[in-house]
Amino acid sequence: MTVIIDGKKTSSEIKDELKEKVAKLNKQGTQITLAVIQVGNDPASTVYVGNKKKACEYIGIKSLAHELPENTSQEELLQLVGKLNQDPTVHGILVQLPLPKHIDEDLVIRTIAAEKDVDGFHPESVGKLSIGQKGFLSCTPAGIIQLFKRYDIPMEGKECVIVGRSNIVGKPMALLMLRENATVTICHSRTKDLAEVTKRADILIVAIGKPRFITKDFVKEGAVVIDVGIHRDENNKLCGDVDYEDVFPIASAITPVPGGVGPMTIAMLMNNCVEAAL
Ligand code: NDP
């Protein structure tokens, strides 16, 4: 029988655990504070920022919203980040991506103080991950590792195939699976015969950004299938990069969309905020 990996339930458990930790820190006089910067009013970003604020409220983290107009200059944004870097009452800084085209995203990420980089995108955080040192982990891949751990899905020695090599999902995911002693293969748009590679996977993690791209023809019988993608289909229904109905019968475990990886990303962001204050 296929196990449905419930990210909503797991993320609630994590948030409840964090709420207790935050209450203890409050009693010791620490009010954890996350500064959230949004430039412009991209509707998807507004939804994501709103969800992050709600999670902060639930856990007891103070969120400081900085909503800047679309025409904010790069200099103004860098100055704000610099000010927050210096502010000892701010523990974490999150700049919602994507930024408007006239702003250099990499430069903004590099400007965030590494010790406040709760998204885990700063080169120092990425470097620490790659050499096995403790640092902030990119939230989506860290959330997927938590799903494996909390569902007792073994990673050690397993063939893990990751489809997608982005800096925020595919690459950190590969490093984390390597840390868990899986045998890791990364696929991308130039991979020859994708299905031949993905069919080797005991664990298949898909972050490709194409709705329902992965059908059962890409999946080995009994594989664990993790779907990172989020899309709205032609009927305005949420779906992932995996064709859930098609793959479900042959997978041993699978994440749904919505309710799989998405909620875990926010839970791990909250976890990083707590870590930032310790
Ligand atoms: P990107 O667009 O940055 O990366 C997509 C990757 O998929 C690239 O590496 C690309 O290869 C690869 N790819 C594209 N087409 C193919 C193909 N036909 N065959 C093999 N590989 C292919 O996406 P992200 O990693 O940022 O996001 C992926 C998905 O996950 C999106 O749907 C996004 O919305 C979602 N997402 C969800 C999150 C969550 O919290 N649930 C968080 C972040 C993202 P190449 O490098 O060669 O171009």
Q: Could you tell me the pLDDT band of residue 271, with boundaries at 50, 70 and 90?
A: very high
Q: What is the pLDDT of residues 170-214, one digit of tens each?
A: 999 999 999 999 999 999 999 999 999 999 999 999 999 999 999
pLDDT at site 99? 97
Q: CATH number of the domain at 41, please.
A: 3.40.50.10860
pLDDT at site 208? 98
ipTM metric: 0.98
How far, in Å, is the centroid of ligand 1 from the Cα of 164?
5
Which one of 47, 52, 189 would you pick to mutate in the ligand 1 pocket, going by the greatest count of ligand atoms within 8 A of its CB? Answer: 189
Q: What is the pLDDT of residues 65-114, one digit of tens each?
A: 999 999 999 999 999 999 999 999 999 999 999 999 999 999 999 999 99
Q: Which residue has the tokens 């998807």?
A: 44
What domain range is 166 assigned to?
Answer: 139-262
Instruction: Give percent of the chain with pLDDT exceeding 70.
Output: 100
How many domains does the structure of the chain reveal?
2
13 assigned to some structural domain: no
157 is in an annotated binding site: no
Instruction: Please give the average per-residue pLDDT across 24-46, as a whole number.
Output: 96
Specify the long-range contacts of residues 120-125, CB closer than 8 Å, at least 24 apart: 120/172, 120/272, 121/167, 121/168
Whether residue 151 is found in the same domain as residue 214:
yes
